[in-house]
């Protein structure tokens, strides 16, 4: 099958759009523009190859349902930003890294192995009897909402509905 080539224009456009969205939601892309564009190019290649923008630094399975946690921005971005000042790939960095107050280090893989990912997560504590609506949690930013179905798009971090999990 012939894949459309990813051109520099595609990458530039993606970069501009992403940067705008990212900065307006309080995140930062890596200030090394060349490096960042290389990562974005890999995401676009994955998008073409798998039909979802899997993390450029991890091996995708090709099955979207198995890889929802590593569609960029991955579920592990925020904890890694918190602990290491950068996401696993170095695409997103913290304000401290940006200002030079903190140095980039290598980041251990936080993603659980395939067997552990399949285990259903335990819901903590008993359910309040008065709660009539299910609570949904955005796996990327942690946003919670109580409603029949998860929102089409997370109002905080803008990822799609498929990135929500049932919280309660
Ligand atoms: Zn979110």
* 26 alpha carbon – ligand 1 mean position (Å): 13
* 81 alpha carbon – ligand 1 mean position (Å): 15
Per-residue model confidence as pLDDT tens digits over 103-114: 999 999 999 998
Run of H or E residues at 43? helix 33-50
Q: What is the pTM of this model?
A: 0.82
Per-residue model confidence as pLDDT tens digits over 29-56: 999 999 999 999 999 999 999 999 999 9
Length of the chain (residues): 168
* 163 alpha carbon – ligand 1 mean position (Å): 8
What single-letter DSSP state applies at residue 64? G
DSSP-derived 3-state class of residue 17: helix
Identify the pLDDT of residue 5: 84
Which two three-digit tokens encode residue 133? Answer: 């609506």
* 45 alpha carbon – ligand 1 mean position (Å): 24
* 157 alpha carbon – ligand 1 mean position (Å): 4
Nearest to 23 by CA among 35, 32, 15: 15
Contacts 24+ apart (CB under 8 A), 36-45: 36/91, 37/11, 37/12, 39/89, 39/90, 39/91, 40/11, 40/14, 40/15, 40/91, 41/6, 41/11, 43/14, 43/72, 44/6, 44/10, 44/11, 44/14, 45/6
Relative orientation angle of helices 8-24 and 33-50, to the nearest 10 degrees:
110
* 124 alpha carbon – ligand 1 mean position (Å): 21
Q: pLDDT category, 59, cuts 50, 70, 90?
A: very high
Q: pLDDT category, 132, cuts 50, 70, 90?
A: confident
Residue-averaged pLDDT of the chain: 91
* 56 alpha carbon – ligand 1 mean position (Å): 20
Q: pLDDT category, 121, cuts 50, 70, 90?
A: low
* 34 alpha carbon – ligand 1 mean position (Å): 27
């Amino acid at each position: 099958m012939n894949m459309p080539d990813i051109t520099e224009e595609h990458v530039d456009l993606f970069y501009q759009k992403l940067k705008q969205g990212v900065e307006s939601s309080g995140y930062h892309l890596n200030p090394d523009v060349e490096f960042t564009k290389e990562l974005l190019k890999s995401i676009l290649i994955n998008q073409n190859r798998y039909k979802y923008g899997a993390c450029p630094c991890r091996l995708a399975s090709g099955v979207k349902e198995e890889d929802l946690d590593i569609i960029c921005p991955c579920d592990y971005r925020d904890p890694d930003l918190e602990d290491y000042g950068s996401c696993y790939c170095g695409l997103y960095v913290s304000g401290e890294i940006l200002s030079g107050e903190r140095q980039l280090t290598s980041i251990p893989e936080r993603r659980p192995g395939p067997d552990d990912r399949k285990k259903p997560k335990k819901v903590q504590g008993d359910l309040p009897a008065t709660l009539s609506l299910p609570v949904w949690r955005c796996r990327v930013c942690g946003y919670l909402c109580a409603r029949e179905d998860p929102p089409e798009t997370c109002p905080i971090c803008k990822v799609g509905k498929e990135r929500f999990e049932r919280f309660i």
